Structure 1
């Protein structure tokens, strides 16, 4: 597993992923909604929705490092699918 700079976002993401055994998935919004008001403020945002682009970027980084799989409509996204080309909800799961 690659070591990421510890931020409230990455900490909550790792915690939620560790509680879901594959093939169980999570929605990235669960990570954003898990942050406290103080953590949101420390991230420089007023509400959790503002963090979604950062969370998606982190998830894609983790996917590129072989840690997670990203799914859309129940299908794992191919390795060449970039964050900028995916519109709509995604799910994330630990890679087995």
Structure 2
């Protein structure tokens, strides 16, 4: 992993936490919200950051900072398939 990749990973983690901090305590965000917040362009290039955003969420789950949910219920982010949301750990 290059320094740039690590830097992007950290920026995605910070974006997830900052976006959640701006919302109500039980609010959720989509990984795409973090990808869009970190992406520096005007086109759809943020889509390339979707999997890195999901990985950032998984790291934050492992750290106990957030949980990944589907249908309002916590799920194992490594096994989740389809759309997920991220929220602060209660």
2:88 to 73, 87, 94: 94
Corresponding pairs, count: 83
| RMSD value, Cα | 2.5
Map 1:1-96 → 2, pairs under 5 A: 7-34=10-37, 35-37=39-41, 47-77=45-75, 81-83=76-78, 85-96=79-90
Unpaired segments of 5 or more residues in structure 1? 39-45
Relative contact order, higher structure (CA 8 A, sep 6+): 1
Query: Under a length normalisation based on structure 1, what TM-score does the superposition of the two structures give?
Result: 0.71
Residue 11 of structure 1: CA displacement? 2.8
Query: Under a length normalisation based on structure 2, what TM-score does the superposition of the two structures give?
Result: 0.75
Q: Determine which structure has the larger helix proportion and give its number.
A: 2
Unpaired segments of 5 or more residues in structure 2? 1-6
1:52-88 CA-to-partner distances (Å, cap 9, x unmatched) read: 11111110111111100110122111xxx342x2221
Is the Cα contact below 8 Å between 2:31 and 2:50 reproduced in 1? Answer: yes
User: Secondary structure at 1:37's aligned position in 2?
Assistant: coil
